[in-house]
Chains A and B, each alone.
Chain A
Amino acid sequence: MRAWRILVAAAVLLVVPVPAFAHAGDDRLADHLEGSAPDEFHGSGVVVCTWGTDAATATYDVTRRDGMTMTSGPTGEFMATAAQTVMRAGDEWYAVDFADRSPWSLSTRYRLGPPEATMHMGRAADLYVVFDGDLPRVRLVVDRATTVPLVTEVLDGEGRVFRMAALIDLDESDVAMPAAPEPARMHMVVSTDPVASLPESLAGYRRMDTYMAAGGGVQAYYSDGLFSFSVFEAGRGATPEVFRSATAFGASGTWYRRVVTPDRVWVHWNAPDRSYVLVGDLPPDHLIAALEDLPQPGQRALLIRMWRRLFG
């Protein structure tokens, strides 16, 4: 059983309704984000993420019907409804709720450009560009008949494609009901952590909520309405094996190591007294800007290191 399950009450059927979405940004973009896809479709796609010499790719399947969305992809399998998320861990399914969640809002820095007619997979489509200030940040190819996004490209600060997700198959008729998971045996409520030491805003991202995390740590969840990331803060620990040979990159005059997965970037670092993990789908220039406002990597003081070697 995973460690963070100790944070939640087993078998407590507490249903936390998802709050109404609010936004202050581009209305047309917000409409797209809040659900432009049809009620029924099945799609298979590929997602590729590249940052410098790092690249990762995976396939994913999405089935939507009767208000349920079943997704199987690089982040695992989960079924989502408007009220609940059910995730798979090994052979088990478990429902997850957060004790509190701030309403979604879209940053005013994003603006949706006008559509441009195009074709994709033999289907009439519209190409949209989402601008981040003056920079093109996302390119979208949206199927005209169904409004399903066929291609999504996230661009970095220099206009290079950072992540691309493309459907390679789309079926909006005769959609089979997703294979429903067995009733979730566990219902978990992630507790809110009232003591939030991490910044309220980072590089245009707002700290939405702070939760208790595994090992007595804290999860700060940040979002700008388009991208999101979590910063996990815990007592200083060892560097996870996967980061020891990971690619180094510079930010704010210091060095970090990153792990790129198809739909996430992970960064781990140790400050003198704390360890941090940042995970999210934000593009590299946003990530580097966010790191600049977080506690910096550093070594423990000499005497503290000696003390810990002697006395633990």
Chain B
Amino acid sequence: MNRSHFLSRQMQYLFSFDLDLGASRASTRKAAGLANQILPSDAALCPADSKNVVYHALDEAQVGGEPAITGQVAFAQDKIDFPPGRDFGEISGRLVIRTRDKALIESTYTGVLRARAFWPLVVRDYGGVADAQANADLPEVETKAQLTTHFETGSAKYRWLVERQCAGFGRVRLRGGEPTWASFDIYSLA
């Protein structure tokens, strides 16, 4: 007999991060005409004073009895696929967090960008071989994004993260199909 009740579902907020994808990012576009246009990026090694921060949005020092995660995004590498004929993008990537106490935590994630009726604006003029100056004149478009992620670290202090399946809710800004900024809230599924 199938269930007639929902299983328990909870999400525990862990931390947030912001990524400035404009300055330190190099990107490659495939030429227009290919069925699946992919936008890989070179790995971005973020400088220590960058805007790529990791923080607790509510300024709490602990999360469920564990130390809150604060610091910087030290490394980010991402890819966006734009499935032809669809109104969403698929994201995947890795980023490395360096906490304030110098621990390194790597996140591997996949997810989606969704903008529904605004999707044509997201991919506007994303024809593959675009004029950089013309692209700069396009307005930024902000989309909702959702991802799932898990973490790896050898730090004993943050080992608890490794045991969590996590999800993220965020916003990504793009100009001419190129992401310029991203921000996410990360939750543990519990």
Say if A and B assemble together: no
Query: Which residues from chain B sit less than 8 Å from chain A, CB to CB?
Result: none
Q: A residues bordering B, Cβ < 8 Å?
A: none
